[in-house]
Amino acid sequence: MVRRIIVVGANASGVEAASAARKKDRTAEITLINQETNSGYSRCGLPFVIGGHIADFKNLIVYPPAYFQMLKLTLKTETKVTAVNTKEKTVTAVDKAGVAETLQYDSLVLATGADAFMPPIKGREKQGILSLRSIEDGEKIRQAVQSGAKSAVIMGAGLIGLEVGVALIEKGLKVTIVEMLPQILPAMLDADMAKLVQEHLQEKGMTILTGKGVEEFLGEDKVTAIMAGGEKIEADLFISAFGVRANTKLAVDAGIPLGETRAIKTNGRMETDVKDVYAVGDCAEGPNLITHKPMCPQLGTIAVRMGKVAGANAAGDYAQFTGILASAVTRLFEIEAGVTGLTEASAAKNRVEVVVGAISSKTKADYYPTAKPIKVKLVVEKESQRIVGAQVVGGEEVTQRINALSFAIQKQMTVRDLAKADTAYAPPLNETWDPMVLAAEMVLMRLR
């Protein structure tokens, strides 16, 4: 009998799940149901279209309709799944014309993603508060810029908030970032590393207000200003970047349990607690590779890895999701920042006793004309001396160092091993002593 696989959601994790299922089962009926008009596009690229680095939002579509046709995947767009019945193994979906249909499944993959989060702030029902989660959201922001917006307030100093802020400055707007916590990039960097990024952004003209929560949206029907930390800030454009929350409504309504993080609980095969139902991407939990506790970091790289595992299993294969280090990088003007594993702050929160070491160096030989500054920080578990986290901030060459340190953590390398690493050198490419090795030596000095 032909296996029926339904995937709810058709972006990073959903498309990856459907593709992996097709590779395992050539005859299965695989249906993707997507609420959005566009499917298979990169959300991560949205700020770079706004900034003008990428010509159009359509360029972000990684999987065009031809891809789904080639793999014989049935794609239903602008269609909302309203109910899942796990006893009958059915999904109820309503299309844009309001026509409902009930589909039978053998395996179901929930890739429902996450929604932009808005805290309960006074006046939040007013018009004119934009967020950036979809192509449609991006088009609204770009339209506001083209219509003559001269200033913007961005609420939240996470990755998206800062990337949008950079994009708007590149488009000539005056940008103010408002962050409730005492530092920018609070989920990504420790305060000492975040300070380097903040100083660079301020040099580029970005106004950054940390330690100030948004108290109220001001204006009649449309927002014209906010109150933050007792200060009134006026602007033409207001962007909510408070973060996202896992979209779990469908799972909750169907009686599928959530986990500690309030995302959908899964096991190593990305199965939920309900047989033949899987969850992947921004709506699903996975284990942290170091603490083994569940986490939901909502990164595209993790979404596709989860999708690949769930898709294979949904099609009858056996695959395991190995876990999460939440490695991430960004570029903001001329500075790059990256993280892998635990920060010093998250280690403390998880009661992991660590020793840290940081070094400021150059990306090339110090005398080479285009050498740029770089700082590497290592987080090492005190007892085992294993590397459990790293952060890198610099003018270039951040991604490959984060990737190398991610491999080191996954292979349970000790800081002593890293200090003996055989790294490459040439004046236009790297220092004689790689900054990662120097940071390892700083940790060893502290361990002595």
Strand partners, 103: 91
Pairwise CA distance, residues 251 & 245, whole Å: 14
Q: Is 296 a catalytic residue?
A: no
List phi, psi (to 5°) of 400: -70, -30
Nearest 10 degrees: Cα torsion 139, 209, 195, 141: 0
Q: How many CA atoms lie within 13 A of 420 on its CB side?
A: 4
Contact 268, 320 (CB under 8 A): yes
Pairwise CA distance, residues 407 & 420, whole Å: 16
Pairwise CA distance, residues 16 & 39, whole Å: 12
The catalytically annotated residue of 44, 187, 209, 225 is 44
DSSP sequence for 61-77 = BSS-HHHHHHTTEEEE-
Q: How would you classify residue 443: left for phi > 0, otherwise alpha for psi between -120 and 50, otherwise beta?
A: alpha
- Beta-carbon contacts of residue 27 (< 8 Å; ≥ 6 apart): 2, 3
Pairwise CA distance, residues 379 & 409, whole Å: 10
Pairwise CA distance, residues 102 & 25, whole Å: 23
Which residue do the tokens 């294979």 mark?
Answer: 312
Taking the alpha carbons at both ends of the chain, their separation in whole angstroms is 65
Contact 388, 381 (CB under 8 A): yes
DSSP character at residue 426: B
Pairwise CA distance, residues 175 & 168, whole Å: 7
Nearest to 241 by CA among 155, 318, 320: 155
Instruction: List the structure tokens of 446.
Output: 């502290």
Nearest to 163 by CA among 184, 183, 191: 184
Contact 17, 307 (CB under 8 A): yes
Please list the active-site residues.
44
